[in-house]
Structure 1
Amino acid sequence: MKRSGPLFTLLAGLLLALFMLSLNATTGTRSKSTGSDSPADAVSASPAPTATATPGKPSPSPSPSKSAVPNGDYAGRTDDDSSAVAVSLRDGKAVAYFCDGRDQESWLKGDVEADGSMRLKGEEGQVLTGELAGKRISGKVDMGQRKYGFTADKSLKPSALYRATDTVADTKIDGGWILLQDDSQVGILKRDGKAGPAPRIDPDSGAVTVDGKQLTASPVTP
């Protein structure tokens, strides 16, 4: 019995040692499993790349607007050479004068489209339709009882269209003149509404003498 005592003590010590080893092994495993993540897991996930907005397909550029019709003065004769037509263009507006140099005339006005086309109207229903192409306006004048085709070229003079209104010896004067490139003039002068051929004006100054009184005809623009 005395000999078995130490043996039991030895066995108990071995068992205790084995228990402690097992406990340490288990604790180490748990520590590893519950500790920080593995290096692979520890790397924080890179933020998803921000999608760069790809510019949408550029919208088609608007068609360039047509150039504005240039300002200018135009004068010419009708196709039958019986009358003259002058047209003055300013900032998309137009004023025109049809005159046969005897007793038939008409002042017309209206807008000019971006493509150079125009439809001008007179006070008594006359209509001028034309189109600017390059340095020439071609079209027709409807005077009611008759239509006239015409061609008016760009004027090289300071102006192609003049008008003078005044009162001379209690008579109301209203004159219109078209200056053509060949230095000829076509005009009508009305005295109290009665039409007749107009006297010639000075193309440089616009001066004209009517019934002994000197008047000044001024360029006409819209």
Structure 2
Amino acid sequence: MKRSGPLFTLLAGLVLALFMLSVNATSGTGSSSYTDSSSDPAEPTAPPAASTPAERPSPTRAATPSPSPTPTKKAPADARYAGRTDDDSASVAITLRDGEAVAYFCDGRATESWLKGDVEDDGSMRLTGKNGAKLDGRIVGDKVRGTVEIRKRTWAFTAPRTSKPSGVYRATSEVRGQQLDGGWIVQPDGSQVGILKRDGKPAKAPRLDPDTGAVVLADGGRLTARPVVP
């Protein structure tokens, strides 16, 4: 019995030592999981907003100048022209109106032609008539210079600008069963030339009264001629 006391005491001490060891182990684990709030870092502030580059002002565009208006071309003025061929064998008269022209070529015997067409802004003209007749001319100053081609023959001419009663006249009518067609050119000096066709047969035309347009025929018949315009 005396020997079991120390043994008991030894066992009690061993149990106590094991208990303390267990408590220490448990306390160490708990302390390692504790976090001291005083040691927490300061709350992170919101990240600064990404700086937006300042809007660049739109480059100022130079004002585009308005295009200059295209000058409006103007057709040659209305006018009358009357003259002769360079060889003085025939007459030419031209009347312009609203950018169009009508012309008459006449030698006073058997050759004649009526021609018409447009006049360009630069004063040039290309007029055409029956059987391939044509007139090519241009207004130069106060006259028309050009050529007339009829039946493969060509005449150069100059026709100065003129005024009433100068110019070109025409009369068509049926008289005493005959179909009459006459053309006249009155020159600035008062001289005139014309052809009167009777049923298509050409002959020298009787004189025309420019003031009234009256034409007295050889057989007593009468015609009235009018100025020709386009």
Matched letter for residue 170 of structure 1: G
Is 1:143–2:136 an aligned residue pair? no
Give yes or no for the alignment of 1:114 onto 2:121: yes
Question: 1:156, CA displacement in angstroms?
Answer: 2.2
2:168 & 2:222 partners in 1: Cα distance?
19
- CA shift at 1:54, angstroms? 3.1
Q: Which residue of 2 aligns with 1:80?
A: 87
What does residue 89 of structure 1 align with? 96
Q: Which amino acid aligns with 2:135?
A: L
Structure 1 contact 206–218 (Cα < 8 Å) conserved: yes
Q: Deviations over 1:178-206 (max 9, x none)?
A: 00011000100000000000011111111
The aligned counterpart of 1:197 is: 204
Matched, 1:215 2:223: yes
SS in 2 for 1:64: coil
| C-alpha deviation, 1:157, in angstroms | 1.8
Alignment pair present for 1:206 and 2:230: no
Contact 2:73 2:121 in 1 (8 A): yes
TM-score by length of 1: 0.75
Q: Do residues 54 (structure 1) and 67 (structure 2) align?
A: no
In 1, Cα distance between the equivalents of 2:170 and 2:158? 21
Residues 175, 188 of structure 1: 8 Å contact kept? yes
Match of 2:193 in 1: 186
Identity %: 56
Partner residue of 2:30?
A: none
Match of 1:157 in 2: 164
Q: Is the 8 A contact 2:81 2:159 kept in 1?
A: yes
Question: Residue 108 of structure 2 contacts residue 204 of structure 2 at CA under 8 Å; is this kept in 1?
Answer: yes
What pairs with 1:167-186 in structure 2 (closer than 5 Å)? 167-186=174-193
Shift of 1:63: 4.3
Partner of 2:136: 129
Q: CA deviation at 1:50?
A: 7.0
Partners of 2:104 and 2:93 in 1: CA distance:
5
Q: For the aligned residues, what is the CA RMSD?
A: 2.9
Q: Deviations over 1:115-162 (max 9, x none)?
A: 010111111111100001121000000112311000001112245010
- Structure 1 contact 66–115 (Cα < 8 Å) conserved: no
Query: Across the two proteins, how many residue pairs are aligned to each other?
Result: 194
Give the CA deviation at 1:55: 1.1
1-structure distance, mates of 2:77, 2:96: 7
C-alpha contact 1:161 1:178 (8 A) present in aligned 2: yes
Identify the range of structure 1 (202-211 vs 172-181) with the bigger mean alpha-carbon deviation. 202-211
Aligned equivalents of 1:113, 1:156: Cα separation in 2? 22
**TM-score (normalised: structure 2):** 0.73
Distance in 1, matches of 2:55 and 2:216, equals 94
Taking the aligned partners of 1:135 and 1:205, their CA distance within structure 2 comes to 27
**1:26 corresponding residue in structure 2:** none
Amino acid at match of 2:228: V
Determine if contact 2:135/2:149 at 8 Å carries over to the other structure.
yes
Instruction: Name which one, 1 or 2, has greater alpha-carbon Rg.
Output: 2
